[in-house]
Amino acid sequence: MLKKLRTWFTKNAAELPWRLDDLNAPRDPYAVWISETMLQQTQVSTVRDYYVRWMKHFPNVNKLASATEDEVFRYWQGLGYYSRAKNILKTAKIIAGSGGKFPETRDALEKLPGIGAYTAGAILSLAYHQREAILDGNLVRIFSRLYKLSFLPTENKKAAEIYWEQARDVARGSKAYLHNEALMELGRTICKVRNPLCDKCPLATACRAHSDDCCAAFPPAKKRTQQEWHGTVLVVESADHKILGVIAGCKFFKGQLSLPHFESPRNATVGLSAEAEKLIPDDDINSLKPCGKFRHSITTHKIECDVLHVTLRARAAHTAQAANAIQWIPKSKSMETFANSFSLKALKLVQKD
């Protein structure tokens, strides 16, 4: 089975910016780490350009370690799940402070912020060619169909161990790095979530779900619950045309620069809530104008927000308070400074108005 998989992969491997022309060559652990972290919860087609831009600006771990958090967020903008970007910077500083060399053991890698079992396995396998297992969504889907596993590894420890044992079987051979990457490619291009291309799959003859013509039933659907949240986003502009950003005190993006946002009822009367007035006193306001609404999703939250453009009578320096919690950004630089698409959607509505 693995020989068929290798043959298929060497003939069909896609050209990707993080993949070397020589599929058997060890990779740079930094490049593996960045690409695999970006690919979590994000499609390959989206990651391509982000990866190229990132590696051009942060070509190695030492350059990344010297960056500010705001700078890292700007280059992560649009990928979502910003905790990944924060952990990348934390880990870069740790590695740079230890001589700039990535650990070569699973235990040491998994102690670093943001590096879990999958990412550690990918680094050890693809960069160091160790016989280490990996298990991502693609491999879960393939194993579930190959062996008709009617449960997910997230259900309990026993279920997880069954999947990991399959992954370890794949990694026991001398070409573990090639098998691991081939399975990821197979899941992305052939053994897809919907409409798998079974007639092109090198593992079709060994696949139990294919033999029983029930691939669509595997793996079982994950139970998801999404919370609805309605709020108001404030685009607060000072008299000298600076936009207020906050880095504390909001529902989302805590610790990251964003526009102030507060929970509010749907169809509420236009105005500032009592919570918002703590940040912007009513006497400071020159005008307040609704600019529309937008929808957004963050992890388990399904969000709908009204956008209010608030202009102030005073210049930014006269209204600034709690300097460690707020920042005033020149309006001309706001689109490049706010690093999350949530804030950018609100800024775009104000620009259109």
The residue ranges of every structural domain in the chain are 2-217, 227-352
Average pLDDT over residues 310-339: 80
Q: Which residue has tokens 């491997």? A: 13
Catalytic residue among 36, 181, 185, 237: 36
Q: What is the pLDDT of residue 317?
A: 63
Percent of the chain with pLDDT over 90: 76
More confident residue, 203 or 74: 203
Main-chain phi, psi angles of 224, to 5 degrees: -125, 140
- The answer, yes or no, to whether residue 325 has pLDDT greater than 90, is no
Average pLDDT over residues 23-49: 95
- The answer, yes or no, to whether residue 45 has pLDDT greater than 60, is yes
For residue 185, indicate whether it is catalytic.
no
∠98-104-107 over CA atoms, to 5°?
90
Distance between CA atoms of 190 and 194, rounded to whole angstroms? 10
Average pLDDT over residues 112-139: 97
What would the pLDDT profile of 292-307 be if each residue is shown by its tens digit? 999 998 878 899 999 9
- Mean of all residue pLDDT scores within the chain: 92
Q: At what angle do helices 44-57 and 69-76 cross, to 10 degrees?
A: 140
CATH of 227-352, one of 3.10.20.340, 3.40.50.1370, 3.90.1150.10, 3.90.79.10: 3.90.79.10
- Categorize the per-residue pLDDT at 282 as very low, low, confident or very high, splitting at 50, 70 and 90: confident
Q: What's the pTM value of the predicted model, to 2 decimals?
A: 0.77
CB 306 within 8 A of CB 264: yes
Q: What is the pLDDT of residue 280?
A: 87
- The answer, yes or no, to whether residue 324 has pLDDT greater than 70, is no
Task: State the DSSP code for 322.
Answer: -
Helix (H, G, I), strand (E, B) or coil at 283: helix
CATH 1.10.10.10 holds for 2-217: no
- The answer, yes or no, to whether residue 230 has pLDDT greater than 80, is yes
User: DSSP states of 108-151 as a string?
Assistant: HHHTSTT--HHHHHHIIIIIT--------HHHHHHHHHHTT--S
- Categorize the per-residue pLDDT at 276 as very low, low, confident or very high, splitting at 50, 70 and 90: confident
- The answer, yes or no, to whether residue 154 has pLDDT greater than 70, is yes
Average pLDDT over residues 182-188: 97
- The answer, yes or no, to whether residue 321 has pLDDT greater than 70, is no
Q: What is the pLDDT of residue 323?
A: 47
- Categorize the per-residue pLDDT at 160 as very low, low, confident or very high, splitting at 50, 70 and 90: very high
Average pLDDT over residues 102-130: 97
Separation of CA 179 from chain center: 25
- The answer, yes or no, to whether residue 320 has pLDDT greater than 50, is no
- The answer, yes or no, to whether residue 249 has pLDDT greater than 60, is yes
72-76, 106-110, 223-227, 346-350, range with the lowest pLDDT: 223-227
Q: What is the pLDDT of residue 319?
A: 46
